[in-house]
Structures are given as structure tokens and as C-alpha cells.
Amino acid sequence: MKFKSYDTSDHCEYETEIRNADLKTSTLFVQTWVVDYLNRILRDPNFSYALFDWNVIIKTSFIVGYKHRCYGAFTGSRIDGLLSLSKDNELRIEFIATAPWNYYTITKMKRIGSGLIYFTIRTSHYSGLKGEFFLNALPDAEKFYEKIGMRFTGKINKEGLKEYYMSKDRAISFLEKFKNHIIDE
């Protein structure tokens, strides 16, 4: 899937593509997000960013197979987002993240998170789940999920994260709003 992301620093739209994450993706993630970027700013006490171990998450998805898949959002050769989905009787976002520069610097790529959500809804449709999915939200992300139409289910997991649900009707509404940014499904 390809969509138009937006760089707020140069006021320009770019093509971002979501594709399967592989070993090359995990290497690129470690080089770009961890080595080149995060190590420089982790000392800042004002910086809050959940750094999931994507290297392990992506490698594990190869072992678990169809039940668990990982995807990357690529703008050119740069990785701007990562997504991990699992499916049993329901579709669940296990992990989702946009690159740390979206939180810390003047460079901000907009629509990356929404593009990953759009992809998740389409995956849910293809799986026969009508756009529905679940996730456990980090506290800093709860407002984003509520803004896009997800609702708190009342459940809290053992890590203290609230579970959110995207309904069929709200998924349709989200797809309608985001479709103008889609280049190719």
C-alpha cells in the first residue's frame, strides 16, 4: 500500500509505502532509529518515547508465521513507522510506532500513524473482520486513537495499558477520511 505522507519541515508530500518487514528492515531500524538517532537524544529528560525491541519483534514474526506479521512504512529508503499485527479470532495491533523524529525534532512526518491504521483496517477487511481490530494503547497515544474513532473497551492489561477497539462503522468512517491520501492499495 502507498499513501501520501507530509513532511512539516519542508512542507512537501512524499510517497510512503507499507510493506512486509524483513531482516533488512530490522537492520535498517537499528541503524536509523537506535544508533543514528535515539542514542543522541535519550539523555534528554523531556523526551518520552516507547522503544519496543523491533529487532526481536520482526525476527520473532518469521518463527510464528501467519499468526503474527510485521510491516514497515518506508518513505524512500527511510523507515518512518513499524507495525506488528496478530490474528486469531480477532485482529490485534501488538506494536505500532512512528519514528522518534516525529516526537522530538522540527522534522515531523505526518500521516505515518494514520497510514498504518488504514493498512490495519484494510488487513482486517481482507481477513473477513470488516475493519475491526483491537490494541492496547500507550498513555501518550490514547488521544490519537480516540480521535480516529477507537473506543476504550473497559479492559486494562497486566502492564496497565487500556484496550481500544475499532468498530466496523468507525473503520468505514476512518477509511473515507483517509482515502484522499491513498496512492495505491
Low-confidence ranges of the chain (pLDDT < 50): none
Residue 32: what pLDDT?
83
What is the C-alpha to C-alpha distance for residues 114 and 173, in angstroms, rounded to an integer? 13
Q: In the prediction, which pLDDT does 99 show?
A: 87
Q: What is the CATH number of the domain that holds 57?
A: 3.40.630.30
Domain that holds residue 96: 2-184
Torsion angle (degrees, nearest 10) of CA 41, 74, 143, 108 = 50
Q: Which residues contact 118 (CB under 8 A, 6 or more apart)?
A: 1, 3, 174, 175, 178, 182
Q: What is the pLDDT of residue 107?
A: 65
- CA-to-CA dists, residue 34 to 71, 82, 110, 149, angstroms: 18, 14, 21, 31
pLDDT at residue 106, rounded to an integer: 59
The count of domains in the chain is 1
pLDDT at 30: 82
Beta strands 68-75 and 12-20: pairing type? Answer: antiparallel
